[in-house]
Amino acid sequence: MNAILEHFQHLGLSLVHGIETYPSLPSTNAFARTRIAAGCAPGTVIRARQQTAGRGRQGRHWLGHKGSLTFSTIWPLQWRIPEALPLVIGVGAAAALARWVPDIRVKWPNDLWVGDRKVAGMLGETFLATDERWLIFGMGINVNGHFPLQEEGNQAASLAECCGTELPLETVFLHVLQHMDSILTQYGAGQGSLQKDLERWGNFLHRLVEVRGSQERFCGRAVGVRSDGALLVETGQGITAVHAGDVSLRPATFP
């Protein structure tokens, strides 16, 4: 097992209470399960300076290196965790990273893009331990360097490639945590508007999109997002509510 390098208990945040940093882990989400079983505190962040077997949605691999930020946060599900968590955290992360890359946007349901290139992904999973269900929420951000991406129709980029200079990993990390904590506190108190925030930070509303599922594909115009994260797509047959699940979204005509 990798040794803990850092453990900060007092960050002055409401929902993030400590950071454990490891030199290398196969998957921060997978390791978070062992920390839950060992009795770690709610709000613990598990960070790997290098992640060797990260996972995304639909079994995809997340390729990272020392220019990445890869971390997972642990919360018990009885906390007031907002619906549509990936989108909510995506809005917070986009607002944080816009300090360096103003054009960063949230792509439904759980990515961050700059233009037509992916710079970050998120994955939430639940885990049952001692009759209590926990949420493990992982995030991988391409900060510095080059990142190949093995996904059909997607290209990857780092923040540094987008803004033309390398960024301080620690500063970016803490800035994202602060914005993530702030937006979760806001939405947990019932004060957030997902539709309004995604009008500002999303890259898909009022655009033509292609919805790809295991059984069908169709195109339409993304017209809204419900509080549970379902995407409302208007076609010639009316408006369809699309849930993330095993469905993915592709741009038909993004500028």
CA distance 192 to 186: 6
Whether residue 178 sits in one domain with residue 232: no
Instruction: In whole angstroms, give the CA distance from residue 17 to residue 24.
Output: 22
Q: What is the CATH number of the domain that holds 221?
A: 2.30.30.100
Q: Please tell me whether residues 91 and 33 are part of one structural domain.
A: yes
pLDDT tens, residue by residue, 201-238: 999 999 999 998 877 889 999 999 998 999 999 999 99
CA distance 217 to 210: 7
If you write DSSP's letter for every residue of 113-142 in order, what string do you get?
EETTEEEEEEEEEEEEETTEEEEEEEEEEE
Q: What is the mean pLDDT of residues 1-20?
A: 67
Do 30 and 147 share a domain, yes or no? yes
Separation CA 209–CA 26 (nearest Å): 34
Please indicate, yes or no, whether residues 88 and 187 belong to a single structural domain of this protein. Answer: yes
Residues 52, 130: one domain? yes
Q: Is 39 left (phi over 0), alpha (psi -120 to 50) or beta?
A: left
- Note whether 28 and 70 are within 8 A (CB): yes
Rounded to 5 degrees, what angle do the CA atoms 152, 153, 159 make?
105
* Closest among 139, 113, 110 to 231, alpha carbons compared: 110
Q: Can you tell me whether residue 182 is helix, strand or coil?
A: helix
**Domain CATH number, residue 172:** 3.30.930.10
Instruction: Measure the CA–CA gap between 68 and 79, rounded to whole angstroms.
Output: 29
Other C-beta atoms closer than 10 Å to the C-beta of 62 total 24
Give residue 6's pLDDT: 56
Number of domains in the chain: 2
Domain that holds residue 52: 6-194
- pLDDT value of residue 115: 93
Q: How many helices (H) and strands (E) would you count in the chain?
A: 5, 16
Span 145-162, average pLDDT: 80
pLDDT value at residue 94: 98
| Residue 61 predicted with pLDDT over 80 | no
Q: Is the dihedral of CA 214, 72, 117, 49 positive or negative?
A: negative
How far apart, in whole angstroms, are the C-alpha atoms of residue 219 and residue 204? Answer: 13
Question: Do 78 and 163 share a domain, yes or no?
Answer: yes
Task: Name the CA radius of gyration of the chain, rounded.
Answer: 18
Together in a domain, 72 and 169: yes
160, 194, 228 — which closes off a domain? 194
Which pLDDT tens digit goes with each residue over 88-131?
A: 999 999 999 999 999 999 999 999 999 989 999 999 898 888 78
Q: Does one domain contain both 211 and 136?
A: no
Average the pLDDT over 171-199 and give the result. 93
- 140 falls within a domain: yes
27 & 116 share domain: yes
Q: Which of 194, 216, 235 is the last residue of a domain?
A: 194
Residue 199 lies in a domain: no
Q: Say if residue 115 is in the same domain as residue 182.
A: yes
Kindly state whether residues 73 and 164 are assigned to the same domain: yes
Residues 209 and 187 grouped into a single domain: no
